[in-house]
């Protein structure tokens, strides 16, 4: 069993849902990332989505765009991101880490070199925002050889034939994008999400995480009633951006938001 499978199995045994925070690696400073990952776990994270910064994050809203810019100002590259995962793994062998980002840095490194280095670092899954399954065969095959899950997005606009195709290409879990928009957008339509998830479940038994538009205990609770996992990104990253001068405060604020979500989801 993979770490991701273990994670969802353990949660399901205790009737709990996965809390999945996203942070951008290297934001606001490279020295914050690993302590923050451990802090997130302590505050109740089940899986960590670690963003690989990219110069042109076209699916992200302003909050994560700025996070990418801050990380890139420190010259963060994909090898350094993998080194952060390896450092995290020195004291945490159980929490799955999923890299989330755009294809070009991976393509630039080379699929095989990337997959090998990611496996060695202890990466469990890869979610490439701008890589639909149609173009993903060769990367997915290589990741699979290295026991890394390929996680794909489903959206409110995904038609049923594509749902079947995407669920077939996916492993680990599925990421349902709750709204038409970029990360950090405001509106969340819970009943529409419910409808879509039940349609998706007709095609797969994989766990489904839901992200985009979840920002506090209430929205996390509402989504966790429907989904197997709740992803929160911009609400956390905004705090990191607001507290660039003081990393301890940033860490405290981010983990406090996450702990509130954990509490709301478990109660």
Does the active-site annotation cover 245? no
- Both structure tokens of 262: 């954990």
Smaller CB separation from other proteins, 168 or 180: 180
Residue 129 engages other proteins in binding (rule: CB under 8 A): yes
Residue 78 engages other proteins in binding (rule: CB under 8 A): yes
Residue 177 engages other proteins in binding (rule: CB under 8 A): yes
Smaller CB separation from other proteins, 133 or 217: 133
Q: Which residues pair with 24 in a beta bridge?
A: 51
- Cis check: omega of the bond before 28, within 30 degrees of 0: yes
Q: Which of 60, 124, 149, 228 is catalytic?
A: 60
Residue 217 engages other proteins in binding (rule: CB under 8 A): no
Out of 152, 239, 255, 257, point to the residue binding other proteins (CB under 8 A): 152
Out of 8, 54, 88, 173, point to the residue binding other proteins (CB under 8 A): 54
Residue 156 engages other proteins in binding (rule: CB under 8 A): yes
Out of 119, 169, 185, 190, point to the residue binding other proteins (CB under 8 A): 185
Out of 74, 132, 169, 194, point to the residue binding other proteins (CB under 8 A): 132
Residue 234 engages other proteins in binding (rule: CB under 8 A): no
Between the CA of residue 55 and those of 233, 236, 251, what are the distances in Å? 18, 20, 25
104 torsion bin: left (phi>0), alpha (psi -120 to 50), beta (else): alpha
In terms of Cα–Cα distance, which of 181, 176, 220, 171 is closest to 198? 176
E strand or H helix at 99: strand 97-101
Does the active-site annotation cover 49? yes
Q: Which of 49, 124, 228, 243 is catalytic?
A: 49
Q: Which residues pair with 62 in a beta bridge?
A: none
Residue 147 engages other proteins in binding (rule: CB under 8 A): no
Number of helices (H), then strands (E), in the chain: 12, 9
Out of 38, 72, 201, 244, point to the residue binding other proteins (CB under 8 A): 72
* Piece of 86-94, 102-110, 192-200, 238-246 that binds other proteins (CB under 8 A): 102-110
> CB–CB of 236/257 below 8 Å?
yes
Smaller CB separation from other proteins, 1 or 186: 186
Rounded distance, CA 61 to CA 57, Å? 8
Residue 21 engages other proteins in binding (rule: CB under 8 A): no
Q: Which residues pair with 126 in a beta bridge?
A: 99, 150
User: In sequence order, what DSSP letters do the residues of 156-186 get, joined into one string?
Assistant: TT--HHHHHHHHHH--S-EEEE-SSS-TT-S
Tokens 């709750």 locate to 178
Residue 131 engages other proteins in binding (rule: CB under 8 A): yes
**Shortest spacing between CB 106 and other proteins, in angstroms:** 8
Residue 137 engages other proteins in binding (rule: CB under 8 A): no
- Three-state DSSP at 38 gives helix
Return the active site residues. 49, 60
Residues engaged in binding other proteins (CB under 8 A): 54-62, 65, 69, 72, 77-78, 102-109, 129-132, 134-135, 152-159, 162, 166, 177, 180-182, 185
């Amino acid at each position: 069993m993979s770490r991701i499978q273990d994670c969802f199995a353990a949660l399901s045994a205790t009737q709990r849902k996965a809390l999945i925070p996203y942070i951008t690696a290297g934001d606001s400073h490279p020295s914050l990332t690993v302590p923050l990952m451990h802090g997130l776990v302590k505050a109740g994270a089940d899986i960590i989505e670690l963003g690989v910064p990219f110069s042109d994050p076209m699916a992200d809203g302003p909050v994560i765009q700025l996070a990418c810019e801050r990380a890139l100002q420190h010259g963060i590259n994909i090898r350094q991101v993998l080194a952060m995962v390896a450092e995290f793994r020195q004291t945490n062998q159980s929490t799955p880490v999923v890299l989330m980002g755009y294809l070009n840095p991976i393509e630039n490194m080379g699929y095989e070199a990337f997959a090998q280095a990611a496996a060695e670092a202890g990466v469990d899954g890869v979610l490439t925002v701008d890589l639909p399954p149609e173009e993903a065969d060769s990367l997915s095959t290589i990741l699979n050889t290295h026991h890394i899950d390929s996680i794909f997005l489903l959206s409110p606009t995904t038609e049923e034939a594509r749902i079947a195709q995407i669920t077939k290409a996916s492993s680990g879990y599925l990421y349902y994008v709750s709204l038409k928009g970029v990360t950090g957008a405001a509106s969340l339509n819970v009943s529409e999400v419910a409808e879509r998830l039940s349609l998706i479940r007709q095609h797969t038994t994989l766990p489904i995480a839901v992200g985009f538009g979840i920002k506090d205990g209430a929205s996390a609770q509402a989504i966790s009633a429907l989904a197997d996992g709740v992803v929160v990104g911009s609400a956390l990253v905004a705090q990191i951006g607001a507290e660039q001068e003081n990393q301890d405060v940033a860490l405290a604020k981010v983990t406090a938001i996450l702990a509130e979500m954990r509490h709301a989801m478990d109660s």
